[in-house]
Amino acid sequence: MTDIIIIGAGIAGMTSAIYARRASKSVLVLEAKSYGGQIINTPDVENYPAAPHISGFDLATNVYGQAKALGAEFKFEKAVNIEDHGGYKTVATTKNSYDAKAVIIATGSENRKLGLENEDRLVGRGVSYCATCDGAFFRGKTVAVAGGGNTALEDALYLSDVAGKVYLIHRRDAFRGDDGTVERLKKKENVVFVLNSNVTKLIADKKLTSIEVTDKEGVVTPIEVDGLFVAVGRIPENQNFTSVIDLDAAGYALSGEDCRTRTKGVFVAGDTRQKDVRQLVTAASDGAVAATEAIKYINGLE
């Protein structure tokens, strides 16, 4: 019987592990892919306190090492179900099942797709969801970025130093992301803004050769590109756990600021829960709160 099982090894989940281990609780962290979550693909993090310039990979590795050094156990298995037995919970993975007194869900979210024909087929053949992962393959070439949030802006900025030309395509005339990044992009001579428009078609033979963009008036414009980087948001990975948590219309877990859910002993942290601000600092904050509340629950102090 483990004290706390944490599902997800992003910043929220690993922060929970640190706080739980410092309270001498046994911790098992289950992660479907690799530690770090989505921040691991960010080349330069500039808004994390006391670390004005650090790569997402280095930041995640530091937090992972800290949790490991404190004695947190990590297993790279995908959690697919949680059963509530009152005094304990059972978490099933694709390989095993584990029992714990409390569970913290910190699964984060996955890339939202455009939903276009051939999109899945063209992943790795011109379509990508990670500019820092795949940008080097398009050095000196023409690419497009679809999206209007911070991820899209950061992708476009990164690609502007790699690709020959970058089209930034957004369905509105204003961006949701940081104004400072927008201003930096406007100063880039190889960045072209395509606003009030959506990518509506992918054109390819064996790989992507061009896209079609449709503006709000219905005018369709073809654009020749070698690559398309999709950054139109993310989808929370909560559907496997609806037996113990409630979701909002967008699929995010409902909880208070105490990270508690409708099931006693089950908590949520980070991007997986309904909240207004999704940043590294708020993920770390959630991780600390969720672990603290889980510790109180186990100790009978709730």
Amino acid at 197: S
In a domain, 8, yes or no: yes
Task: Provide the domain count of the chain.
Answer: 2
Q: How far apart (Å, rounded) are the C-alpha atoms in residues 129 and 155?
A: 10
- Is there a single domain that holds both residue 226 and residue 255? no
- Is there a single domain that holds both residue 8 and residue 73? yes
Answer positive or negative: Cα dihedral of 146, 149, 153, 155: negative
Q: How far apart (Å, rounded) are the C-alpha atoms in residues 192 and 194?
A: 6
Q: Are 226 and 236 in contact (CB under 8 A)?
A: no
Q: How far apart (Å, rounded) are the C-alpha atoms in residues 9 and 11?
A: 7
- Is there a single domain that holds both residue 243 and residue 190? no
Residue 233: what pLDDT? Answer: 84
Enclosing domain of residue 33: 2-111+234-298
Answer positive or negative: Cα dihedral of 100, 287, 10, 107: positive
Does the active-site annotation cover 155?
no
In a domain, 116, yes or no: no
Q: Which of 84, 99, 130, 178 is catalytic?
A: 130
Return per-residue pLDDT of the chain as tens, 302 residues.
Answer: 999 999 999 999 999 999 999 999 999 999 999 999 878 877 778 888 998 889 889 999 999 999 999 999 999 999 999 999 999 999 999 999 999 999 999 999 888 899 999 999 999 899 999 887 788 899 999 999 999 998 899 999 999 999 999 999 999 999 988 999 999 999 999 999 999 999 999 999 999 999 999 999 999 999 999 999 999 988 898 999 999 999 999 899 999 999 999 999 999 999 999 988 888 999 999 999 999 999 999 999 87
Q: Are 79 and 92 in contact (CB under 8 A)?
A: yes
- Of the residues 204, 230, 256, the one at which a domain ends: 230
3-class SS at 176?
coil
- Is there a single domain that holds both residue 51 and residue 192? no
Does the active-site annotation cover 134?
yes
pTM listed for this prediction:
0.77
Q: Which of 133, 161, 173, 179 is catalytic?
A: 133
- Is there a single domain that holds both residue 278 and residue 239? yes
Q: Which of 3, 134, 155, 286 is catalytic?
A: 134
CATH classification at residue 249: 3.50.50.60
